[in-house]
Amino acid sequence: MSKKIYSLSGAVCLLIALVFVLGSQEEAKRELNQNGIPDQASSTNKLKGNIRAELEVFNFDEAVTRADLIAKVQIERAIKEIDEPSPKTLYQASVLELLKGDEGLVNRTIDILQQGNSTWSFNNNTMFGQGDEYFLFLNKATVSNTYWILGEETGMYEVIDDGRIEKKSLYLDELTDIEDKVSTEMFKKNQKEVKDIQILYENKFMNKIVEQLNKNRSE
């Protein structure tokens, strides 16, 4: 008799756990549908897990050469979340400035894929938020007007204030001449997870990209 009671109790516990997980997923999806981009604090609490992955990374001149599009963009909204074959979120973004690519895209919108969604994080990266501004190194996806990020977080440069940007990962010696070294050290001390970030001067960064593009054309 006691074995039956234990079995029944175990089944009830499993059912409650399943309902809790499914309920959390549905709540996260409702937040995404209602607000476009889920609230960062609430969605972080609902993450089922973190995907750790090694990335193919590139030095600066190689990234400039390989990218189809290098642009300063502003995130407008999340369009949808994707689960298969890997978790992603598709965002709509406005092109504010263009450094490489189709000049007709300036002041227009493009779609950008970022690894991770409201259920899974990718390398503990922060998901894009509405109004965020980034310089991104992008490659064309198979779908029209859609791009993926070259090197994922290593190709993301977030605008953090008027005149400075944060390279989200992969410290590059090639960029030390345009780096705010004091701020880099301060940011590293204050961040929760150790990431190889680098604080750069925005105008110098843009000029360096233009110089590299001109060098590529002359070769």
* Domain layout of the chain by residue ranges: 50-218
Q: Which residue has the higher pLDDT, 188 or 211?
A: 211
Grade residue 96 by pLDDT with cuts at 50, 70 and 90.
very high
In the predicted model, what is the mean pLDDT of residues 106-111? 97
Which residues are CB-contacts of 217 (< 8 A; sequence separation ≥ 6)?
Answer: none
First-to-last CA distance in the chain?
83
Tokens of 213: 């593009």
Q: Which residue has the higher pLDDT, 97 or 3?
A: 97
Q: How far apart are CA 117 and CA 38, in angstroms?
A: 10
> What pTM did the predictor assign?
0.76
In the predicted model, what is the mean pLDDT of residues 25-32? 44
In the predicted model, what is the mean pLDDT of residues 43-59? 67
**Could you please report the per-residue DSSP string of 112-152?**
EEEE--SSEEETTPPPP-TT-EEEEEEEE-SSTTEEEETTG
